[in-house]
Amino acid sequence: MTRKQLTEQIQQKKSYLLVGLDTDITKIPRHLQSHPDAIFEFNKAIIDATTDLCVGYKINTAFYEALGWKGWEIMERTVNYIPSEHFTIADAKRGDIGNTSSQYAKAFFETMQFDAITVAPYMGEDSIRPFLEYEGKWAIVLGLTSNKGAADFEMQPLNSGEHLYERVLQTVSEWGTEENLMFVTGATQAHELENVRGIIPNHFLLVPGVGFQGGSLDEVTKYGKNHHCGLLVNASRAIIYAGSGENFAEEARVIAQQYQTEMAGYL
């Protein structure tokens, strides 16, 4: 998916919401847990209930990889079920030497047909370059995350006076373009988003952490939005586990609608 297509989806739907399909079989409604295809049936119901309210879906691959070959199959079927106009992200946080990253890129961009993958920049440009060689695909680079451990490295000051995450944003932004690079910036770091925008004013930001993790959509939008919107805000547990009964999909839709309505007011 191109930047133009993604931006058009945001404008048409008045939404920059991503629904995170971080599906844990122990947390889905009890009536589905004994179903022979429980996770896919759950994902399918969530997708059906939210397609008109969001612009994409983010799949945390760990929840599927943990199930072995069956999980990979469910993940592939889920991606194939998502309507083609939606942006799909493999939240896999890959990043290795070049020839290994090439295989990761092939797995998620060719075999799985995702639009984007999250990647870690620690090993440098050659570890990310293979993901940037696919037209219409995106590398979403970890920039400033919401977890407590962000203080261990990302927020460390350098001799130049900048934080390490600021150096990462500046350096990585030169490896690709606004058409194939995004950056992860956690919602609980909203106070830093204004600074982030000073470094990368035009790139899309993937913002997890709104909802159960305590991030504020209002603050994320206030400090992170640019003139093209430039935001993809992900909500996972707050939406997909909104209900625990047979009407779980309808309850998920209610929460997704709340997000979309709030976002429409900001656009």
pLDDT attached to residue 159: 94
pLDDT attached to residue 212: 64
Q: Where are the domains of the chain?
A: 3-266
CA distance 133 to 150: 29
pLDDT attached to residue 190: 75
pLDDT attached to residue 169: 97
Determine whether 93 is an active site residue: yes
**Choosing from 93, 148, 222, 225, which is the catalytic residue?**
93
CA distance 171 to 135: 21
Q: Which helix (H) or strand (E) holds 249?
A: helix 248-266
Q: Phi, psi at residue 222, to the nearest 5°?
A: -60, -45
Q: Phi, psi at residue 71, to the nearest 5°?
A: -65, -40
Topology adopted by domain 3-266: TIM Barrel (3.20.20)
What's the token pair of residue 229? 């919107």
Reduced to 3 states (helix: H, G, I; strand: E, B; else coil), residue 210 is strand
| ∠ Cα 207 234 45 (to 5°) | 170
| 8 A C-beta contact, residue 13 and residue 52 | yes
Q: What is the DSSP letter of 216?
A: -
Positions of the chain with pLDDT lower than 70, given as ranges: 211-214
| 8 A C-beta contact, residue 202 and residue 228 | yes
pLDDT attached to residue 192: 85
Contacts of residue 147, Cβ cutoff 8 Å, sequence gap at least 6? 186
Q: What is the DSSP letter of 223?
A: H
Q: Phi, psi at residue 147, to the nearest 5°?
A: -75, 160
Reduced to 3 states (helix: H, G, I; strand: E, B; else coil), residue 217 is helix
At 83, the amino acid letter reads P
Q: Phi, psi at residue 55, to the nearest 5°?
A: -105, -5
pLDDT attached to residue 128: 97
pLDDT attached to residue 147: 86
What's the token pair of residue 110? 């060719």
CA distance 230 to 214: 21
DSSP string, 149-188: GGGTTTTPBPTTSSBHHHHHHHHHTTTS-TTTEEEEE-GG
pLDDT attached to residue 214: 64
The partner residues of 157 in beta bridges, in order of sequence, read 163
